[in-house]
Structure 1
Amino acid sequence: MAFNGNLQSETTKGQGAATILAIGTANPPTCYDQASFPDFIFRMTEREDKVELKAKFQRICDRSGIDKRYVHITEEMLKAHPNLYTTGAPSYDTRQELLLSDVAELGKEAALRAIKEWDQPISMITHLVCSTATGIEMPGMDYQLSKLLNLNNDVQRYMYYQQGCYSGAAAIRAAKDLAENNPGARVLVVSSELLSTMFFHGPDANELDHLVGAAIFGDGATSVIIGTHPDLAIERPLFQLESAKQILIPGSEAFSHIGISDWNSLFYIVHPGGPAILNKVRDALSLKEDKLRASFQVLKDYGNMGGPSVIFAMDEMRKRALKEGKPTTGDGLQWGVLIGLGPGVTMETIVLRSCPIQQA
């Protein structure tokens, strides 16, 4: 389907569709190759005698579809806090102390990159929407970020706590409503996770989920800026948020209003929670092999970062479209869908309309 160049939403008409105006991402500095990660984990947790368990963990890592991951947890941290991996040792307070300031700082880094790309005064931010499953603090990350970024004192703050991997998509859905119902609003969305430290445990044959978590979790933060009626003289629209729903089922009416019946005519930004998840989505919709390449690439380069992962995939898609000379940010297509997946199972879906590359 060719893009007609008209930025006006076909469904919201004069109301103005919420549009993503900038994207920023950030990761901790520590990076591990997936192939050597089992050696690190079993050495640091003093379990090198568990040969069979290590072999099982190696197989999990090898099948994860991940090449490398950026993680918050470090060798120095484990040496200083052995209770993080000692079975039965209290560790929650330790994790809170290690995480709460750093998760906000990583979110700040992503937000500053989005604001730099947006290239407008930070005083224009009217709303802040945050999400994290890393630790629990009241006031929360939204309050910390408003101080770290020196946002206006009257900025309206919203917080998504402990919502799992679909929280990044849920935060964007909330931002869409805020932008479309507050004229002139510019909403800053920040999703930040340090899952490697929050959920780290020593390898245990009786706790297979701990092994899987250690094999796939990476750490990262994302930020987007959302508003309506972008000023094309100073702002560069990337994706329109056409509609938002919490479930997408093949054969549903999600795209009937825009005349879409061929699932392969859409672009896809899917939470890269693991190869099994991505393969199931691709099989259920009978998608071509390359339809989920942005999600597979993020999984390969970063692992599962929780809520930020799906925005990393969005960033990967628009950058690849520019590099490959595609006409739009959505892999050259006009319409697509963002899918956030989380516990429950929960599906958070947003219908997207890509924007011309020359404007983005």
Structure 2
Amino acid sequence: MTPLTVTNSRLLPARRNGYRSALRDAEPKHVNPIIRAIGVAVPDESVSQHRAADIATELIASSERQQRAIATLYRRSGVETRRCTVLEPQRDAEHAEQSFFEPRRSASDGGPSTAERMVRYEQSAGRLAAAASARAVNESGLLPERITHLVTATCTGFSAPGFDLGLIDALSLSRGVQRTQVGFMGCHAGLNALRVAQAYCRADANARVLVCATELCSLHFQYSDDPQTIVSNALFADGAAAAVIAPDRSRAASGDGCDRPDWRLADHASLVLPDSADLMSWRIGDNGFAMTLSPRLPDLIAEELAPWVDGWLANHGLRRSDVGSWAIHPGGRRILAAAAASLELTADQMAPSEQVLREYGNMSSPTVLFILRELQQRRAQLPAVMLAFGPGITIEAALIT
């Protein structure tokens, strides 16, 4: 209880409680919107982590020490394969090649300029977003023109017109679709986009919201032998994920014939940890966007995550043991281990998140939707909790029932 709360409770305890009761009685009874479908897409070409380490060595390593560091950090990443838009067609992931990045010519060489990377982003992001969105809309059973709202998320590129406008033509969406962009929030932005979609659905019983998170992280490979930069280079990949969200009543009214089980967006929560802003950053530089990632971050998550999650779940009459499944953003192998230790989760509970990290890498904002899709395919038990982490340090959560 804050000092202000204490003061107010002393001055007006009866009236304050009365107001609370009246407000509760006046609150509308919201129907939790349903996730009608999730669609995902990745670039066609893949690279094994062993080959990715070789490519990184060719680009930036100038000593045996640097070569060993790259090999070790890539091997420990928990990633086996990644999909990247900069890769050229090849016969398999072990023979991946690329020509967008050239070997470092001097200590000051940072690789392609930010402008050059943004040109590649604008060329490639729209195709990936359209592929994921088309799959989500098709699986939802809705006609594209019935989508009323479009919520997009990205932090790896900028252009105007952006891929959100491109989706109108690519999917034949209504010219009157209402657009919202969740920009530059980082790995947890997929959850922020779902929160916006939930709000639209609760405000409008006729809303049908398409959410699309698209990232091309591979464009921001950094020419640095700093260990934390190497870790970032070893983790990040490209992908897009889309979801169609609609109020529960829209299914019966639409006559679209969806018969899959309902997964409902019940609640969201957010926490910015104090005195942690220096532990993670994502900043625009002259040679792409640069991430800093402190090795202290996993310890902070291990310490802070469980008490906060427990308090939030208690608001819904739930305990951790009541949660049937978990979708935890794989910010890295140590991040997942810290979350598992804090929440006391089993290997089976962590398996979907670890599988997505292993097969796709960290795709930033779409990644948690890849995990949620994996849970659906496994027919995982509900309720489910989604968790993601980003600069701040911010923890975002969603409850699916």
Q: Single out whichever of 170-179 and 148-157 deviates more from structure 2.
A: 148-157
* Structure 2: distance between partners of 1:92 and 1:257: 45
Partner of 1:51: 64
8 A contact 1:83–1:90 mirrored in 2: no
Closer/same/farther in 2, CA of residues 50 and 84 from structure 1, 3 Å limit: closer
Query: SS state of the match for residue 250, structure 1?
Result: helix
1:294-318 CA distance string (max 9 Å, x none): 1111001000000000000001111
2:77 paired with 1:64: yes
Closer/same/farther in 2, CA of residues 154 and 265 from structure 1, 3 Å limit: closer
Query: SS state of the match for residue 246, structure 1?
Result: strand
Partner of 1:324: none
Closer/same/farther in 2, CA of residues 83 and 182 from structure 1, 3 Å limit: farther
Q: What does 1:205-220 align with in structure 2 at a 5 Å threshold?
A: 205=225, 207-220=226-239
Partner of 1:152: 174
Partner of 2:162: 140
Cα distance, 1:249 vs. partner?
A: 4.8
Q: What does 1:5-154 align with in structure 2 at a 5 Å threshold?
A: 14-43=29-58, 45=59, 47=60, 49-74=62-87, 79=99, 82=102, 87-88=109-110, 91-154=113-176
Closer/same/farther in 2, CA of residues 282 and 118 from structure 1, 3 Å limit: same
Q: Single out whichever of 143-152 and 90-99 deviates more from structure 2.
A: 143-152
Q: What does 1:265-280 align with in structure 2 at a 5 Å threshold?
A: 265-280=323-338
Cα distance, 1:265 vs. partner?
A: 3.8
* Structure 1: distance between partners of 2:366 and 2:337: 20
Cα distance, 1:39 vs. partner?
A: 1.5
Runs of 5+ unmatched residues, structure 1: 1-11, 322-330, 354-360
2:235 paired with 1:178: no
Aligned counterpart for 2:307 among listed residues 250, 253, 263? 250
Cα distance, 1:37 vs. partner?
A: 1.7
| TM-score, normalised relative to structure 2 | 0.76
2:244 paired with 1:225: yes
8 A contact 2:69–2:227 mirrored in 1: no
Q: What code does the residue aligned with 1:17 have?
A: N
* Structure 2: distance between partners of 1:85 and 1:30: 27
Look at both structures and tell me which one has the larger radius of gyration over its CA atoms: 2
1:314-343 CA distance string (max 9 Å, x none): 01111122xxxxxxxxx23x3121112111
Query: What is the percentage of aligned positions where both structures have the same residue?
Result: 29
Partner of 2:360: 302
**Number of residues paired by the alignment?**
327
Query: SS state of the match for residue 400, structure 2?
Result: strand
Closer/same/farther in 2, CA of residues 129 and 85 from structure 1, 3 Å limit: farther
Closer/same/farther in 2, CA of residues 187 and 102 from structure 1, 3 Å limit: same
* Structure 2: distance between partners of 1:84 and 1:138: 31
Partner of 1:350: 398
1:22-79 CA distance string (max 9 Å, x none): 0000000110111222112323x2x565322121111111111111111112259953
Structure number with the higher helix fraction is 2
Which structure has more RCO (C-alpha within 8 Å, separation ≥ 6)? 1
2:311 paired with 1:311: no
Runs of 5+ unmatched residues, structure 2: 1-26, 90-96, 272-304
* Structure 2: distance between partners of 1:84 and 1:190: 35
Runs of 4+ in 1 over 6 A off after TM superposition: 83-86
Partner of 2:21: none
Closer/same/farther in 2, CA of residues 60 and 18 from structure 1, 3 Å limit: same
| TM-score, normalised relative to structure 1 | 0.84
Query: SS state of the match for residue 65, structure 2?
Result: helix
Coordinate RMSD, CA, aligned: 2.3
Cα distance, 1:264 vs. partner?
A: 5.8
8 A contact 1:270–1:339 mirrored in 2: yes
Closer/same/farther in 2, CA of residues 164 and 284 from structure 1, 3 Å limit: same
